[in-house]
Homo-oligomer: A and B are copies of this chain.
């Protein structure tokens, strides 16, 4: 009896393989935008045969939705990490702003992915569904952080409006920087947020 030959391929649990395919999808999206998000390229990136995406995600759109859920989830997880010693009410909103412009999120690869997904949102119901769920969490986090500061300082603010302003400014700054990094820096972007918020909330 000959020794057992080396396996032709490795088997993974459904969860593991899904994670691998999502990672490959993120790479393709970052590199070539939505036009690069194809079965062939993603399977090549993941070193896997063409049938796997359909098997694990039912369709390419299923994978795209999973990709969006993943990247949004990573961001929210960081935003929702509790402060080790939350002694000041403004700590949370500062942490959120810091996180948004940290190297982990404020980089070309990540922002390219967001831009590509934003551009497809209107044309992809599955994507929009994921967005609604994740965005609700995001907005709740931001509103809570803003509300904490206002309450602690005895300020009456339109929390929803200020949250909209902050979320929009953050997205807009990301967009500007992603298209033309020379015109902006993470530091300046952060300053812009403070310059907008401090007249409303007081010094941060």
Q: Which residues of A contact B (CB under 8 A)?
A: 32-36, 108, 112, 115-123, 128, 131-132, 135, 161, 164-165, 167-173, 175-176, 178-180, 183-184, 188, 191-192, 195-196, 199-200
Contact = CB atoms under 8 A, between A and B. Distances in A.
Given A34-B119, A119-B115, A171-B172, A164 B179 contact: no
A102 to B, nearest CB: 18
Nearest to A135: B180
Contact of A168 (B115, B132, B172): B172
A193 to B, nearest CB: 9
A112 B119 CA distance: 7
> How many copies of the polypeptide does the oligomer hold?
2
Secondary structure class of chain A's binding surface, majority of residues? helix
Contact of A119 (B119, B128, B171, B196): B119
A48 B168 CA distance: 40
Nearest to A162: B195
> What 7 A-B pairs are tightest by C-beta distance, nearest first?
A119-B119, A168-B172, A172-B172, A199-B199, A171-B172, A33-B123, A168-B173
A192 B161 contact: yes
10 contacts: A33-B34, A34-B34, A34-B119, A115-B121, A116-B119, A118-B119, A119-B119, A121-B179, A122-B178, A161-B195
A188 B168 contact: no
Given A122-B115, A164-B183, A165-B192, A175 B175 contact: yes
